[in-house]
Structure 1
Amino acid sequence: MTRDLATAQRFYGEVVGWRFRPARLGEAFSVAFQDRVPVAGIGALAADLAMAAAWTPYFAVDDADLAVDRIRERTGTIAVGPVSFDSGGRAALVADPDGAVFGIWEGAVAADWRVGKGPAPAWLELRTRNALDAAMFYGAVLKWATGRNGCCEVSYEEDQVVLRQDGEPVARLNSGPVEIASYSPHTRPRWHVHFRVPRLRPAIDAAVALGGRAVSEVTANAMERWVTLRDPDGALFTLTTSVGADSAADFG
């Protein structure tokens, strides 16, 4: 969600390489495509809403009403919904017990689309107070590790809770110093999205030229290099690429 749809489309079009089409939800919404695959949605916030611009992940559920009931039972918060859309789907905007915001979606999901695969977001990260407690909450609400078809597997690896689908990591839950009552999206518990780009340096340069800014140093491990940025409206996200994609000259 952003305050200026046109600016956001230009920014992410240049930085991540997306193209946009109108959504069936009205003029204030658009769908981002990469390689002709839908990868994200962008919506315009009403000017009088006191909400921060932010990326929010939506998780598919079989029944939105049952999922909302499970969230309430486990001391989560329901902000909006479930609401029905003309497209046939139903959605709700909610928060976990520590205040991290996420959405649930009941409806059609493309069979060949998921986080971590192809042009979809590289992975999701939950930054929270206690990753094990969070895993218990999300596992019960979203039915992780239940053995059903398409279900995610959960493991504990190197002080992280790792969520995998078909053996590939799609999300990581990290414990750390967060401020439960903070109004800053950078310090409170939150879901964080990682987008893959072909090369990191040109994407960073494009982001800065269009009013964004880096809020972390470029970091690397044996496989990937990444950096966290804010877009012109303040929404946080991370760009990542394989180490071999960037030349040594890109980073001195």
Structure 2
Amino acid sequence: MSISSPKDLTTVPLNWVPSELDFSRYVQLFDWEDGSGKRFLMALRNSILTSGGATLVALTLAIPAAYAFSRRQAPMLLLFLFLATIMMPPITYVLPLYQTFGNFGLLNNIITLLAVYCALLLPFAVWLMKSNFDVLPVEIEHAAFIEGASTQFTLRRVVLPLVAPAIVATAMLSFLVAWDEFFYALIFTSDLSSKTLPIAIADFAAGRVTDYGVIAAVGVLATLPPAILAVFFQRFIVSGLVAGSVKG
């Protein structure tokens, strides 16, 4: 659809193979001077900042938290409370969050989405990282402690290199969750300065005259960043997910 001419898209019966290739929509979307291009590029920027930033912050907090649950006997009740927050329907949190962010003047701000996505990703990241810490032999850490290493040094120089595949897998899955999130982005954003790609795609379909070719082109471009990351880090993703699946 993204490379089909408008005539091919409206022909009955549908032409599955375009009669001619039309790449003008992709050129249009990368043209800052064009209205559609500006909407797409700003939404792409916002999605990268919110998804990447939320993933980075969530992992930074989740790794020491997961290590505490796995190795320092932190209360499991607290972990289940974390998980309970993502079991509730998202609409449950909308009104209190909207009022809180409104009181602080943070509505229609990517900082708001960053905070919400961090809260959304943190329980998932903690749980997944904990399962990988659990299967790591504790004797490796004991050996480092005997040599006089501190907990911080052991975590940074001994444990983290061993669970690197799990970190990559957690980062990828967290990034995808934030990248595809629609509901909170729809509620808390209202203009180009903060809208993300899922909202931009919906906006392209909301006009009086819908260009399905442009919508298809935006959809193709929106899938490229996570697809490229998945291809490059596929080996780490598979090994990271499997590492925490069994114990012993």
TM-score normalized by structure 1?
0.24
Question: TM (normalized to structure 2)?
Answer: 0.24
Higher Cα radius of gyration: 2
Higher relative contact order (CA 8 A, sep 6+): 2
Higher helix share: 2
